[in-house]
Amino acid sequence: MDQLGSTLNKEISMPELPEVETVRRSLLPLVKNKVITAINTNWEKILINGLATFQKEIVGSEITTIDRRGKYLLMRLSNGETIISHLRMEGRYYVVKDASTPFDKHDHVTFTFQDGSQLRYRDLRKFGRMRLIKTGQEDQVPALAKLGPEPTPHTFDETEFARRLKRHHKPIKSVLLDQTVVAGVGNIYADEVLWLSRLNPLQPADTLKSK
């Protein structure tokens, strides 16, 4: 396993937007422009469309890039398909240069490339999922279609965010965790934001005032 592969393989508990973005940036140079020659799994539930569909649709295609939306990775393929991957609690990817490298017992999905290397998906609890969909039709996946804006400088609108908060009487922390309000925030970053803002996590969102 190479150094970047080792980085991708480290333990991440409940990955949130920054962690998933780190995975995306680390993984992309390892797999970009590689041609998939095989995909196999020992736990087919991870592949929502089923192994046969994945084998039929992606073998022979090339990974052109990897995007991200919220906590989802979007692997773009040269044949117009996209693999939507959610790591859930403990899912992670790593790359081996030689397919003969021994497997870990928690490696459940393997993508083999034309150059003999492999992308392996490891998931102790088997909670992660992958879905195959036509590129451009991501909104047909309800979880993606409902995602709110991301908390980044280029996508976040404070005025619109304030409007969204006013629609909810739930505790502010619960609202921050609502992926339809803001995408990619989990427990860790919600707690950090509230601590830095000196806000009680139980305060109703619609009672907050602008400063």
- The residue from 15, 57, 90, 150 that is catalytic is 15
| Single-letter code of the amino acid located at 189 | Y
Full DSSP string of 100-155: TSPPPTTEEEEEEETTS-EEEEE-SS---EEEEEETT-GGGSHHHHT----SSTTT
Cα dihedral 59→114→99→128 (10° resolution): -40
- The strands making up 81-86's β-sheet, listed across from edge to edge, are 63-69, 72-77, 81-86, 129-134
Confirm whether 15 is a catalytic residue.
Answer: yes
Confirm whether 16 is a catalytic residue.
Answer: yes
**Is the Cβ–Cβ distance between 168 and 206 less than 8 Å?**
yes
- Percentage helix, strand, coil for the chain under 3-state DSSP, each rounded to 5: 30, 25, 45
Q: What is the distance between the alpha carbons of residues 156 and 12, in angstroms, rounded to a whole number?
A: 26
| Single-letter code of the amino acid located at 155 | T
What does the angle CA 94 – CA 21 – CA 160 come to, to the nearest 5 degrees? 155
First to last CA, the chain: 50
Catalytic site positions = 15-16
